[in-house]
Structure 1
Amino acid sequence: MSTGSVRKPRLSRDVLVLGVIAFFVMVGFGVVVPVLPVYVRSFGVGNAQVGAVVSAFALMRFVSSPFCGRLIDWAGERAILSIGIGIVALSSGLVGIVQNYPQLLILRGIGGVGSAMFTVSAMTLLIGSTSTAMRARSIGFYQGGFLIGGMTGPALGGLLATISLTAPFFFYAGTLAVAGVIGIVLLRPRTVAVASDTGGIAVIIPFREVLRNRGFRAACLANFAQGWTSFGVRNSLVPVLIVEVLRGPSAWTGIAFAFSAVAQTIALAPAARFIDTVGRKPAIVGAFAVAGVTIAVVPFVTSFLALTALLCLYGVAAAFMGTAPAAAVGDVVGAQGGRPVALFSMFSDFGAIIGPLVAGFLADTVSYPVAFAVGAVFFLGASAYALRMPGRSREPVAT
Structure 2
Amino acid sequence: MRVFRQLQPAQRRNLSILFIAGLLFWASLSSLLPTLPLYVSDAGGTPQQIGLVMGAFSIGLLASRSWLGRLADRRSRQIVLLIGMGVVGLAPLGYWLSDWIPLIALVRAFHGISIAAFATGYVTLVVDFAPEEKRGEILGYMSLVNPIGAAIGPALGGFLQEFAGYSPLFLFSALLGLVGFVCTRAVREQRPEQMGSLSVDLPFWSLLGSPKVRSLTLVMFLVGLAFGTQTTFVALLIQETAVPMNPGLFYTAVAFASFGVRLLAGRASDRFGRGPFISISLATYALAMLILLGANSMGAFLLAGVVVGSGFGTLIPLISALVADRSSPIERGRLFSLVMCGFDLGIGLAGPVLGTLAVGSGYRAMFGYAALLSLASLVYFLAFSNPGRGASLRFALGLGPDEFSQREVVDDPQGRAGPSEKLPEPSAPSREGSPTAVRSRRL
| 1:95 shift after superposition | 3.3
Structure 2 distance, partners of 1:397, 1:356, is 40
Aligned ranges 1:56-67 → 2 under 5 Å: 56-67=56-67
Structure 2 distance, partners of 1:302, 1:168, is 28
Preserved CA contact (<8 Å) 1:17 1:183: yes
Structure 1 distance, partners of 2:235, 2:376, is 21
Larger RCO: 1 or 2 (CA < 8 Å, sep 6+): 1
| 1:120 shift after superposition | 1.9
Give the corresponding residue for 1:235.
231
Residue 331 (structure 1) aligned with residue 325 (structure 2): yes
| 1:306 shift after superposition | 5.3
Residue 222 (structure 1) aligned with residue 219 (structure 2): yes
Give the corresponding residue for 1:264.
258
Preserved CA contact (<8 Å) 1:363 1:370: no
Structure 1 distance, partners of 2:40, 2:288, is 34
Give the corresponding residue for 1:173.
174
Preserved CA contact (<8 Å) 1:24 1:175: yes
Q: Which amino acid aligns with 1:353?
A: G
Which structure has more helix as a fraction of its residues? Answer: 1
Per the alignment, do residues 217 and 134 of structure 1 end up closer, same or farther by CA in structure 2, a change over 3 Å counting? farther
Preserved CA contact (<8 Å) 1:68 1:120: yes
Structure 1 distance, partners of 2:349, 2:87, is 25
| 1:335 shift after superposition | 1.7
| Deviation string, structure 1 residues 283-327 (Cα, Å, up to 9, x no partner) | 223332343355346535676645644542342232221211110
Q: Which amino acid aligns with 2:231?
A: N
Give the corresponding residue for 1:3.
none
Aligned ranges 1:1-399 → 2 under 5 Å: 9-10=6-7, 12-41=12-41, 43=43, 45-98=45-98, 100-161=100-161, 162-185=163-186, 187-192=187-192, 204-206=196-198, 211=208, 214-232=211-229, 234-236=230-232, 238-239=234-235, 247-249=241-243, 251=245, 253-293=247-287, 295-296=289-290, 298-300=292-294, 305=299, 308-336=302-330, 337-361=332-356, 367=365, 370-384=368-382, 385-386=384-385, 388=392, 391-392=401-402, 393=405, 394-395=407-408, 396-397=440-441
Preserved CA contact (<8 Å) 1:359 1:372: no
Structure 1 distance, partners of 2:286, 2:308, is 9
Determine helix, strand or coil for the equivalent of 2:166.
coil
Structure 2 distance, partners of 1:203, 1:74, is 11
| Deviation string, structure 1 residues 340-369 (Cα, Å, up to 9, x no partner) | 121122111011111234444556667557
Structure 1 distance, partners of 2:238, 2:177, is 33
Structure 1 length normalisation: TM-score? 0.81
Structure 1 distance, partners of 2:236, 2:45, is 21
Q: Which amino acid aligns with 1:33?
A: L
| 1:243 shift after superposition | 5.6
Per the alignment, do residues 121 and 369 of structure 1 end up closer, same or farther by CA in structure 2, a change over 3 Å counting? closer
Structure 1 distance, partners of 2:275, 2:215, is 9
Choose 116-125 or 271-280, whichever is displaced more: 116-125
Choose 249-258 or 6-15, whichever is displaced more: 6-15
Structure 1 residue ranges without an equivalent (≥5): 1-5, 194-201
Structure 2 length normalisation: TM-score? 0.74
Determine helix, strand or coil for the equivalent of 1:258.
helix
Determine helix, strand or coil for the equivalent of 2:243.
coil
Q: Which amino acid aligns with 1:120?
A: T
Q: Which amino acid aligns with 1:111?
A: H
Preserved CA contact (<8 Å) 1:120 1:345: no
Preserved CA contact (<8 Å) 1:288 1:383: no
Q: Which amino acid aligns with 2:245?
A: A
Choose 265-274 or 300-309, whichever is displaced more: 300-309
Give the corresponding residue for 1:198.
none
Determine helix, strand or coil for the equivalent of 2:226.
helix
Per the alignment, do residues 225 and 297 of structure 1 end up closer, same or farther by CA in structure 2, a change over 3 Å counting? same
Structure 1 distance, partners of 2:367, 2:112, is 32
Preserved CA contact (<8 Å) 1:256 1:311: yes
Structure 2 distance, partners of 1:237, 1:165, is 19
Computed over aligned residues only, the root mean square deviation of the Cα atoms, in angstroms, reads: 3.3
Q: Kindly tell me the number of residue pairs found equivalent between the two proteins.
A: 382
Per the alignment, do residues 224 and 101 of structure 1 end up closer, same or farther by CA in structure 2, a change over 3 Å counting? closer
Structure 2 distance, partners of 1:94, 1:361, is 26
Q: Which amino acid aligns with 2:83?
A: I
Give the corresponding residue for 2:424.
none
Give the corresponding residue for 1:199.
none
| 1:375 shift after superposition | 1.9
Give the corresponding residue for 2:426.
none
Q: Which amino acid aligns with 1:322?
A: I
Structure 1 distance, partners of 2:64, 2:78, is 18
| Deviation string, structure 1 residues 159-189 (Cα, Å, up to 9, x no partner) | 433334212222222111111111111x114
Per the alignment, do residues 250 and 292 of structure 1 end up closer, same or farther by CA in structure 2, a change over 3 Å counting? same
Q: Which amino acid aligns with 1:235?
A: T
Per the alignment, do residues 167 and 16 of structure 1 end up closer, same or farther by CA in structure 2, a change over 3 Å counting? same
Q: Which amino acid aligns with 1:328?
A: L
Preserved CA contact (<8 Å) 2:130 2:138: yes
Structure 1 distance, partners of 2:150, 2:305, is 16
Structure 2 distance, partners of 1:102, 1:282, is 43
